[in-house]
Amino acid sequence: MKRFESGWLLGCLLVLLSAGSARAQETAPARTGVLPAPHQLSLYGRGGALFYLSDAMTTGGLGGGLGVRDTIQERFILQADLNYLMGIGNVAALRLGAGVQRRGTWTPAVLATLSTVVGDRLTFLTPEHPTPVRTPAVALGLSVAPLRFTQGGLQLSLLELGVGVGTDLPSRGMALQLGLLEVGTAF
């Protein structure tokens, strides 16, 4: 069964690569000697983990999601994605991000992120929190994606690391993020 899943994933990646390459060949003559396109909208799927840890709660898990990204002049990134995570029950995570990437085929990126995690959680009663925290876990952080590649309309990221800080007033929490695979295509 593992062989089938690996073959299926490899097949999907090859189809997306060939579609992105064909799209790049169609648009290359039109862009020769012209400034980069002002906006490139893309849809992406991702898989990885996100955990939020504080004195009052622990939430998050492993899973995946879908997102939309606007790349401005092949340099600046605005994105939003919604993820479903499993591990500590059923959790939804909304991530908003803005950042900068390198132009070219190898496009590492750095993003400022705002993550909101809702759903099941482990709660801990402390003197600062004598009742369970009922609000969503919110964290502001920084993500680095060193293994990102762009070819035509196709985007592939093999690793993304992120860390953030949140608040469960009066205490603080920490968000940890690991992106393992992200595949996107322009539309």
Mind listing the pLDDT tens digit for each residue in 156-172? 999 999 999 998 877 89
% of residues, the chain, pLDDT over 90 = 70
Residue 32 lies in a domain: no
Q: Are 145 and 179 in contact (CB under 8 A)?
A: yes
Binning the chain into helix, strand and coil, the percentages to the nearest 5 are 15, 60, 25
Picking from 163, 117, 160, 165, the residue whose alpha carbon sits closest to that of residue 139 is: 165
Q: Is 121 helix (H, G, I), strand (E, B) or coil?
A: coil
Residue 20 lies in a domain: no
Is the peptide bond preceding residue 170 cis, with omega within 30 degrees of 0? yes
Residue 31 lies in a domain: no
65 pLDDT above the threshold of 50: yes
% of residues, the chain, pLDDT over 70 = 81
Residue 116 lies in a domain: yes
Residue 157 lies in a domain: yes
The larger pLDDT score, comparing residue 89 to residue 21, is at: 89
Total domains, the chain: 1
What pLDDT was estimated at residue 5?
45
Q: Are 23 and 161 in contact (CB under 8 A)?
A: no
Residue 154 lies in a domain: yes
Q: Are 97 and 80 in contact (CB under 8 A)?
A: yes
Residue 1 lies in a domain: no
Tens digit of each residue's pLDDT (9 = 90 or more) over 68-99: 999 999 999 999 999 999 998 999 999 999 99
Q: Are 43 and 115 in contact (CB under 8 A)?
A: no
Q: Is 146 helix (H, G, I), strand (E, B) or coil?
A: coil
Q: Which domain holds residue 170?
A: 37-186
Residue 149 sits at the vertex; the CA angle it makes with 10 and 87, to the nearest 5 degrees, is 60
The DSSP element (H or E) to which 19 belongs, if any, is: helix 2-31
